[in-house]
Amino acid sequence: MSSIVDFKNVTTSGLESSPVAEALAGLRANEARYFMNKYKHEFTVVPASESRETLDYVNRVLKEERNLEFAAKPLETSSFQVENIRWAYVFYEDGLEVNVMYTVDDPKKRAVGFKLSEGMEIPQELEGKFKFARQKSKLAGTIRGSFFVIKKEY
């Protein structure tokens, strides 16, 4: 069952098992605010147990592009298209958010983004492979993020 992420009244619903649940909820709310402000799109999430297709897609892109597989448990996903961009999100129990941005008509604008919730360590799978920039957010505190460009077709 999907639920709309409220970025005005941030809740940890669906993320309670995370040791950084408050920060992860803020990160999720930060994404919801972005999509509402930029695209007037309501950001919805689905429990990971109900979204095998989205998980498989994100896992395939990670594996084929950079040979990455995360040990952390996926808690929620989101998958949608706004304008000419397909988006897929996975929120992990350790506080990691992975998103796949895939333009349907421009192969030069396709990327995988990583965002780390405040208070979490860099996952072992990403340690030393990516440099993380810091960004301040009223909803999520300090977010550390990185990305790589997708080279193949998905």
Whole-angstrom distance, CA of residue 2 vs CA of residue 147: 27
pTM: 0.97
Each residue of 109-119: pLDDT tens digit? 999 999 999 99
Q: What pLDDT shows up at residue 147? A: 98
Confidence of residue 1 (pLDDT cuts 50, 70, 90): confident
Each residue of 40-54: pLDDT tens digit? 999 999 999 999 999
